[in-house]
Structure 1
Amino acid sequence: MQGEASLIADRESRDSFAPKLRAAGLENERIYQELFSFTGLLDQNKRLQRALSDPSRPVEDKAKLVDDLLQGKAHPLTVDILHDVVGRRWSRMSHLGNAVEDFGVDSVMYLADARGVTLRVSIELAQLHSAFLALPQVRSKLSDPYTPEADRVAFLKAVLAGQKLDPVTEILAIHATRALRNRRYLTIIQWLINKLSRHMGETMVTVTTAVPLAGEQIKRLTATYTAKLGRPVHINSVVDPAVMGGMRVQYGSEVTDHTVVAQLQRLKRTVG
């Protein structure tokens, strides 16, 4: 949970740069990479993170340190964003890294907008989340901080081979295992789904069934969850024969599982 100072700093900073990132369009291909790289640099160097988040250190001094690290090779908007965040007050030094990562994800979302694939990316991430829920060994390896980053990324690419995901989906899926930052892989994926949903102004509701939903079922679910959540929703229908029957519904961190396989598992635990 971020402190009040961090919440204010994060909101003000990201709100001020949202129009600029949107206007950057396809240039976000470069910007997000630079921001993610800087996030990694902060995570690997606590001394640097402390220096850049120290409220007693002059802002000009911190901005110069950023410039020295970037060596004049970063996109101007990346430089402006980093100058802005190091000039703000954060409740904890780790919140500075959170803010830079948030900006990196924002940059990826505006890249998706520029390519016209934002909804597709959101759906594909939801499908990945649903699929990995049934693959605990895969989740474990992707979340293992003791496995080298390069090995986790290579493993994920092997798992995703042949899936024909949008390149932007792959960017976010890879970032989730590359930058664990004391989080579990699916926790990061869900965070990304939530950010994309807010970005699009709607909530993603993933419905997993053994057979495809009929059009009328999707309409009823849309109406039901729009009324329940009080905002527009998008129904992401996932077909998984392994659930055998029934329905699993997930939005945000809320999961309602009325599938046959879940009922059998509950019965097994009760009898056992």
Structure 2
Amino acid sequence: MQGPSRAAAAASRGVFTGVLAAGVDRARLAEELFAVVGVIDGSATLRRAVADPSREGAHKAQLAERLFSGKVSAEALVVLKGVFTQRWSSERDLSDTLESYAVEAVIAEAEVAGRADRLEDELFRFERIVAADPALRAALSDTQAPADKRGDLVSSLLRDKVTPETLVLARQAVVAPRGRRFDRVVEHYLETASSRREQQTAVVTSAVPLTDDDRARLAAGLAALYGGTVHVNTVVDPRVLGGVKVEIGDEVIDGTVIRKLDAARRAMGA
């Protein structure tokens, strides 16, 4: 985001967090904000009107009132006014911010229920399953198929197997990708979770599944090394043979056997 949008996001975030702190129905708020993003994305006229930096904030607040009063909750309307009245560098910045607030409302609901860690794990694993299955990836990415049909496919795969919040975000990523690939949408959702929870995320690849104790020890070690809290997502890849590879931020710590064999081969070739 450019400067004006960064300032707008910071200002509107204060309104959003205030609504969350007041004890709003987070699931309903998320549903309503996702719906409004869909309305904005579907109307070039509306996008221009709400993001027009030359229009006074009061006028855009009135626009929000006219369009959405009685159609969304009072709390959602407060958030919309908080977003619409700011000055944005681009229309996309405004809608992206609204989407992020919807995602964060889902994560906040998972936090209250003590399911936030599980949500992150499940969403990450589902993205990996989709990435590894070309047929499933094609079915979920087929924009020629009705969005509801793609969403129903996600529900049939995940219902009663994941948290309600995971299902909401997985369906949303498929039903309304907003021009992005599925993996990019999920990546954005997980980044939103990490930011909200003030933690870093590490992706750990190993030849065999890690136990809960293994994950806890890795998380503690990485937290000591990088500071703060670290959430560990795991990938099982038999090709690494042994050891682990850790990706955190822009850094890669590769202690796998296959890497050591490759290094030995290169040394012998030299």
Q: TM-score of the superposition, structure 2-length normalised?
A: 0.83
* Cα-to-partner distance string for 1:168-197 (whole Å, 9 max, x where unaligned): 110111111122112111111111112212
Give yes or no for the alignment of 1:59 onto 2:57.
yes
CA contact (8 A) 1:139 1:186 kept: no
Distance in 1 of aligned mates of 2:173 and 2:216: 32
* Cα-to-partner distance string for 1:226-257 (whole Å, 9 max, x where unaligned): 2553332122345x476573445444677777
Distance in 2 of aligned mates of 1:105 and 1:36: 8
Residue 191 of structure 1: aligned partner: 188
Q: Of the candidates 176, 181, 188, which is equivalent to residue 179 of structure 1?
A: 176
- CA shift, 1:165, in A, is 0.2
Task: Give the secondary-structure state (helix, strand or coil) at the position aligned to 2:72.
Answer: coil
Give yes or no for the alignment of 1:13 onto 2:4.
no
Distance in 2 of aligned mates of 1:172 and 1:216: 28
- CA shift, 1:102, in A, is 1.4
Distance in 2 of aligned mates of 1:173 and 1:248: 27
Q: TM-score of the superposition, structure 1-length normalised?
A: 0.82
- CA shift, 1:140, in A, is 3.6
- CA change 1:209–1:39 in 2 (3 A) is same
CA contact (8 A) 2:29 2:75 kept: yes
- CA shift, 1:259, in A, is 6.9
Distance in 1 of aligned mates of 2:252 and 2:41: 32
Residue 231 of structure 1: aligned partner: 228
CA contact (8 A) 1:243 1:262 kept: no
* Cα-to-partner distance string for 1:184-211 (whole Å, 9 max, x where unaligned): 1111111111221222222232324342
Q: Alpha carbon RMSD of aligned pairs, Å?
A: 3.0
Residue 87 of structure 1: aligned partner: 85
Task: Give the secondary-structure state (helix, strand or coil) at the position aligned to 2:23.
Answer: helix
* Cα-to-partner distance string for 1:94-129 (whole Å, 9 max, x where unaligned): 211112111111211221122221121112112223
Q: Of the candidates 40, 43, 46, which is equivalent to residue 45 of structure 1?
A: 43
Gaps of 5+ in 2: 266-270
Residue correspondences, number: 261
Residue 24 of structure 1: aligned partner: 23
CA contact (8 A) 1:22 1:110 kept: no
Distance in 1 of aligned mates of 2:63 and 2:213: 58
CA contact (8 A) 2:159 2:167 kept: no
* Cα-to-partner distance string for 1:125-152 (whole Å, 9 max, x where unaligned): 1222333332233234323434331232
- CA change 1:253–1:241 in 2 (3 A) is same
- CA change 1:155–1:65 in 2 (3 A) is same
Distance in 1 of aligned mates of 2:92 and 2:203: 32
Q: Of the candidates 136, 152, 155, which is equivalent to residue 153 of structure 2?
A: 155
Residue 268 of structure 2: aligned partner: none
- CA change 1:138–1:254 in 2 (3 A) is farther
CA contact (8 A) 2:194 2:201 kept: yes
CA contact (8 A) 1:190 1:252 kept: no
Task: Give the secondary-structure state (helix, strand or coil) at the position aligned to 2:22.
Answer: helix
Residue 116 of structure 1: aligned partner: 114
Deviates more, 1:48-57 or 1:133-142: 133-142
- CA shift, 1:15, in A, is 3.2
Deviates more, 1:33-42 or 1:61-70: 61-70
Residue 241 of structure 2: aligned partner: 245
Gaps of 5+ in 1: 268-272
Residue 200 of structure 1: aligned partner: 197
Distance in 1 of aligned mates of 2:209 and 2:55: 58
- CA shift, 1:37, in A, is 0.3
